[in-house]
Amino acid sequence: MDYLKKSLRVLADYAISLLIFSLFILNFYDYRVVYSFVIFVIMASIIYADLKQLAMKEKRPQYNLKPYPLKGLVLGLIGFSPFIILTLVYPLINFNNEIYDNVKRLIFNAILGPVYFIAKMGKGSYAAYIVASLVVPIISMLSYMAGYYGFNFPKLKKFDKNKKTGNKTPAGK
């Protein structure tokens, strides 16, 4: 039950990014591959923040949970399993009607919207869709491992307007 509850974070994070993708896809339809990549980055950052925080919390000794580094992969596979199953079943669905098959393809691409650019890089092959559906569990694994091992991205330097740059003003001004 604990794994199911925690894996719902991955599903919820993907659902949030899918909602954002679905709301604005008509505005960016001509640029859907680039738009998919942008939404993917947002999704990956949300999953990263959630699972890193979860790993850091579970690793604390007072909780006595005994986490392991690959728990993020398990949580990602469980949480994303509806989409993985859909990807595996997708080629078996055949309507024998060109219009219905095109609608099936559009719905499938929309459901895998945040990872659509990966499938498109693989030229839309079935293997590319399988790889695209496994990217979310891999991101979950890496995010959990980052929290487990205490990895932090270096902070970006902020631009300071008040910092002296060495430019000298003419005397008297």
**Cα–Cα distance between 122 and 117 in angstroms, integer?**
9
How confident is the model at residue 163, as a pLDDT? 60
Locate the DSSP E strands across 26-121.
none
Reading the chain (173 residues) residue by residue, the pLDDT tens digits are: 688 888 998 999 999 999 998 888 878 778 888 999 999 999 999 999 999 999 998 888 887 778 888 999 999 999 999 999 999 999 898 888 999 989 998 899 889 999 999 999 998 888 999 999 999 999 999 999 999 998 887 776 676 666 655 555 555 55
Burial class (CB in 10 A: 0-12, 13-18, 19+), 21: buried
Tokens in use for 119? Answer: 């499938």
CB 56 within 8 A of CB 144: no
Sequence ranges of the domains in the chain: 2-149
Task: Write down the number of H helices and E strands in the chain.
Answer: 7, 0
**Cα–Cα distance between 109 and 128 in angstroms, integer?**
12
How confident is the model at residue 24, as a pLDDT? 83
